[in-house]
Structure 1
Amino acid sequence: MTVLETDALIVGAGFSGIYLLHRLRDQLKLNVKIVEAGSDVGGVWHANVYPGARVDSPSPVYSFGIEEVWKGWNWSQAYPGQKELQEYFHHVDRVLSVRKNCIFNSRVNAAQFDTTTARWTIKTEDGKTIVAKYFLPAVGFASQNYIPPWKGYDSFQGTIHHTSEWPRDGVDVRGKRVAIIGSGATGIQVTQEWAKEAEETLVFLRTPNYALPMRQKTFDPATQKKQQEEMAELYAFCASTGGGMPYRPEQLPKALAEFETREEAAKHVKRMYDDGGFGFWALALSDLTLNEESNRFAYDIWAERVGRRIHDPAKRALLAPSEPPHPWGTKRPSLEQDYYEQFNRSNVNIVDTKKHPIAELTPKGIVTDDGKVHEVDIIAVATGFDASTGSLSKMGIKDLDGIDLGTRWKEGIISLHGMTVPGFPNMFLPYSVQSPTPFTNGPVYIEKQANWIRDMVQKMETNGIRYINPQEKAAQEWRAEVQDIANMTLFPKTKSWYQGANIPGKPVEQIYYLAGMPMYFEKCYAALNDKFADSFVSA
């Protein structure tokens, strides 16, 4: 059996994996390999080829902040689609020579650290064995899909795919009866495309998405030139903000009570909606997710703005109800282009699965619990992901005692800053749990995490440290801080994937850190010389 020896093994060739490769290989001169389950670079932007797949963080800052990369690239749109994003990753590969260090079509299914050799032994489904000092599962938070255990799923005789496992040659819906199950970002994007082509479109809706207008823009050459000139400064600014977004200091919001009148507050909040993007979420009211009165004030404005776009009162009541199903912003809003207008079509209808849940699938379609059969030809399953922990738990990663990571986290997540885990020495988790992950512009945030991991590895290499194993006490304190911060907000009032509540049997807890990037990284760098001091093993 051939064993591949390397300094660091990264799992995943998306933003996180490529940033880490660049930091460890090109800056620290380590021997680094990437194992990637797919056939190309790009991570989710190679895998997600479902109809309408598009990013919802704005370019040009949804990209690598590496100068030699951004200097040779211009975005065509504010919110690029999957094809342009895949082309972008090919550009990144040409500039950084990523592919030469990648092992494609290979999936990790076992990994364990040996304190005697201070090395991880990692195995793959296709029979490879890799030994590395550092192990970096860079699989993101949305790579393990979730399909509810519906009775009869395999009996459906039409075409059915989860959006994360879409055929690369697409699905032709012209003249077909189609169903979209789910109302998250992927469900909205598929609906916008299919409603324009299918003979009949059924949206199976349990909870309305508090979607915001995308306000897509196309960039002309003059705009692209200006972006190039300002890119370094803009990226640096985004890295200093709470969520890595290009919101300027003068845009910082006020609490509802700080406005002189409710009319003034309403005017500001309406403008945030009309401007599009995530400004409504981030800039409308500073206490949006802290104060119930402020939250309801914002919700009513959102519902009014959306409601005027939907002609049918019955559809309006489901998509923008007068009473909020949950506080605004405690589930992730999506960006839409013309989602609500699609429901003005007579052949686009809603099945209320909160009132009548899906009971089973049959060869001809979908049956709800009232016995009604919805006959369709094609089904898009847009039911989301087992966020962050799902993919990690399926990789066979074991601690020093041989206990699987999924088992270790069965009663709740334990980590230090979401990047290291007690009992798993020299393992680093970028863009994952107990950190600000889904509340950030991914590439900006990931770069800062990659810098921290690089700094930690550099410290270990410079000082002859064989491995680092964070202390349980420090990790428990971090877990408590993540939960305590969440309990100051309205987030615990909502069951969502932010808390693992979308997966039956998964512990319901706050999975992500809500206090923003600056505070998060301040604590991470303080820990570099503090909480990790008793975690280093040199001999």
Structure 2
Amino acid sequence: MSGSAEARRYDAIVVGAGLSGLYSLHRLREQGLRVLVLEAADNVGGTWLFNRYPGARCDIESVEYSYSFSAELQQEWSWAELLPGQPEIEAYLNFVADRLDLRRDIRFDTRVVAMAFDEEDASWLVETAGGELFVAPFVVAATGILSAPLDPGIPGLDTFDGTVLFSNRFPREGFDLTGKRVAVVGTGSTGVQAIPVVAEQAEHLYVFQRSAAYTLPSPARPYEPGEFEGLRSRYDEIRAAQRVAHVGAARTSAFSVLVDMAGFPALRTASREERLRAVEERGVLGALYWSDVLVDPEAGRLATALYGEAVARIVRDPRTAASLVPTYPFGCKRPIIDVGYYETFNRDNVTLVDLRAGAIEEITPTGIRTAQGSYDLDVILFATGFDALTGALSRIDVRGRGGALLGDLWRDEGPVSYLGLQVAGFPNLFTIQGPGSPSAASNFLAAMEHHVEWIANCVAYLRDGGGSTIEALPSAQAEWIDEVLSFVTGSVLVHPDCNSWWNGANVPGKKRMYTTYVGGLPEYRRRCDEIAAGGDTGVRYSGFKIS
């Protein structure tokens, strides 16, 4: 780490000015700390600033995908849509930043490239790409769980004569696809959201599908006149329901299908007539809404076959419909909700290129060449996903005790941490929604707010005389990861055919390991709060070493 610049000292440094970073700044500043936020972008918003691709939308209802810590924010902001789109969420975060006067403590266009713990000073030295140095005893990594985009890694990309776009850094001014031959590469959540919108604009759309996905019809719509006002008057009731909900969302969310399935009949014992009736009445939902699909492998296979029948009722071309049927068990990836996804493949200007029949070999000056043939294109839009949960911090040179590199630790041992809040060997470095937290299996906002509050309370305890450093014990970290994995052992979440960002299998070279606590947000909060308070032992922050 460079030592040429003079380091400026703060009480705490927050890395990132997205949803987590804004609340971290507000909460720590309220406690009297001198806080600095370092943000690589030129504005607030995090993932909702960068991911402005066509059709970008949240999969959780707006009244629950919003801050709950301030009654004033709740009453002053009006949501327009049930499931908010990217522009509305970005506008909301700018409103919060202005309303709470947060910008004065945020340095924009400032990318953190290195952080090193000084054991003698019990502080972190943080270096930026511009060579600036900052020192603080505490660092809060509000770097996001989906903020480290994956390189497509396709040969010849730099030879393409047309326009290359990336969903995770789509032009802020938008891009006119009218009259263009467009390729969308990737059919995860991003691709599924973008494809129907792109199809309406493009002269012809080629969808390059590496792995077919289960998608469920989205309830997205504008609020009816007076509807949101009615919800706003019931915020206390809505927040109370959130706090006891397994995923931190009691209303409409992508997780509803997984939570609700237990109340339905078993698929294995259902008659052929009952199965067909479910599909006739509920479409693709009728193929999946059965109590045994997530716990019985045979039921899972039956559900996939029934799902294929449901898709074939929507997509007119039999070959295309068959290519759109997933090969992995339902539930092993985060559910995707869509707006007219399957109907899009009935358009004359849309072609599905199933890469299971022949992979992409290279990008040429005129388009994409696959083992099946070549496609002439004007625009390629990559929707190829993220190095989730650990990717953002792994790309920073983070060094703890003894100069240990965090990226090396996660590469060799897998994405380990204690409670998703700290990693052993990295004192006073707090991670928001780190591996082992509810993160991807919950409403991000509800889980994040608890993390920020837990961290702020911990910092207050230390500053009030509890100690100068806190760090996770290796033994507690190992026990926690064992517990996280015990919830998913034998389940579809760790199925060998499931290459999900939940388990890191979407990233070449990343150690495959499930990363998310699925015991439910209420139980997770109880455990974290009990650990902080001492519980039955009376020892505060058990599993951590305070010195």
The alpha carbon displacement at 1:166 in A equals 1.5
Percent identity between matched residues is 34
- Verify: 1:210 aligned to 2:214, yes or no: yes
Partner of 2:434: 432
- How do 1:2-81 residues align onto structure 2 when only pairs under 5 Å count? 2-26=6-30, 28-65=31-68, 66-81=70-85
Match of 1:449 in 2: 451
Distance 1:274 1:461 in 2: 57
Question: Partner residue of 1:402?
Answer: 403
Aligned: 1:113 with 2:114: no
Distance 1:389 1:217, change over 3 A: same
How much does 1:221 deviate?
3.7
Q: Distance in 2 between matches of 1:245 and 1:269?
A: 26
- Deviation at 1:259? 9.3
Q: 1:460 maps to which residue?
A: 462
Paired with 2:175 and 2:485, the residues of 1 have a C-alpha distance of 43
Offset at 1:287? 4.7
Gaps of 5+ in 1: none
Deviations 1:35-58 (A, max 9, x none): 111111111111112112111111
Query: Do the aligned partners of residues 463 and 286 (structure 1) sit closer, same or farther apart at CA in structure 2, a change above 3 Å counting?
Result: farther
Task: Please give the alpha-carbon distance, in whole angstroms, between the structure 1 residues aligned to 2:437 and 2:543.
Answer: 22
Contact 1:109 1:395 in 2 (8 A): yes
User: Quick one: structure 1 residues 345 and 221, their matched pair in 2 at CA, closer, same or farther if it must change by over 3 Å?
Assistant: closer
Q: Is 1:255–1:287's contact at 8 Å kept on the other side of the alignment? A: no
Query: Per the alignment, do residues 302 and 273 of structure 1 end up closer, same or farther by CA in structure 2, a change over 3 Å counting?
Result: farther
Q: CA, structure 1 residues 259+192, in 2 after alignment: closer, same or farther (shift >3 Å)?
A: closer
Structure 2 partner of 1:512: 516
Please tell me whether the aligned partners of residues 48 and 89 of structure 2 are also in contact (alpha carbons under 8 angstroms): yes
Counterparts of 1:122-521 in structure 2, within 5 Å, are 122-247=126-251, 253-254=261-262, 262=270, 284-285=289-290, 287-320=292-325, 324-370=326-372, 372-411=373-412, 412-493=414-495, 494-521=498-525
1:7 to partner: Cα distance: 1.1
Q: CA deviation at 1:431?
A: 2.0
Query: Equivalents in 1 of 2:267, 2:361: separation in Å?
Result: 48
**Letter in structure 1 aligned against 2:318:** P
Give a deviation string over 1:76-107, Cα, whole Å, max 9, x none: 11112111111111211122112111110111
* Shift in alpha-carbon separation, 1:298–1:234, aligned structure 2, 3 A: farther
Q: Distance in 2 between matches of 1:245 and 1:470?
A: 29
Q: CA deviation at 1:224?
A: 1.6
Aligned residue number for residue 537 of structure 1: 546
| Amino acid aligned to 2:500 | S
Distance 1:280 1:150, change over 3 A: same
Contact 1:460 1:466 in 2 (8 A): yes
Measured in 1, the distance between the counterparts of 2:342 and 2:266 equals 33
What secondary structure, in the 3-state scheme, does the structure 1 residue paired with 2:110 have? coil
For residues 233 and 411 of structure 2, the distance between their equivalents in structure 1, rounded to whole angstroms, comes to: 49
**Could you tell me whether the CA contact under 8 Å between 2:265 and 2:290 is conserved in 1?**
no
Pick closer, same or farther for the CA change 1:131–1:379 going to 2, 3 Å: same
Q: Out of 426-435 and 291-300, give the one that drifted further.
A: 291-300
Q: 1:173-214: CA deviations, max 9, x gaps?
A: 111111000001111122111111111110001211111111
CA contact (8 A) 2:266 2:292 kept: no
Distance apart, 1:440 and its partner CA: 1.1
Gap runs ≥5 in structure 2: none
User: Mean Cα displacement is larger for which, 386-395 or 295-304?
Assistant: 295-304
Q: Give aligned pairs, total.
A: 528
CA RMSD between the two structures: 2.5
Asked if 1 retains the 8 angstrom alpha-carbon contact of 2:162 and 2:366, the reply is yes
CA contact (8 A) 1:269 1:285 kept: no
Deviation of 1:274 after TM superposition, in Å, equals 6.4
- Is the Cα contact below 8 Å between 2:267 and 2:299 reproduced in 1? no
- The 1:112/1:314 distance shift into structure 2, 3 A limit, reads same
Cα 1:292–1:143 change in 2 (3 A) is: same
| Alpha-carbon distance in structure 1 between the residues aligned to 2:242 and 2:543 | 34
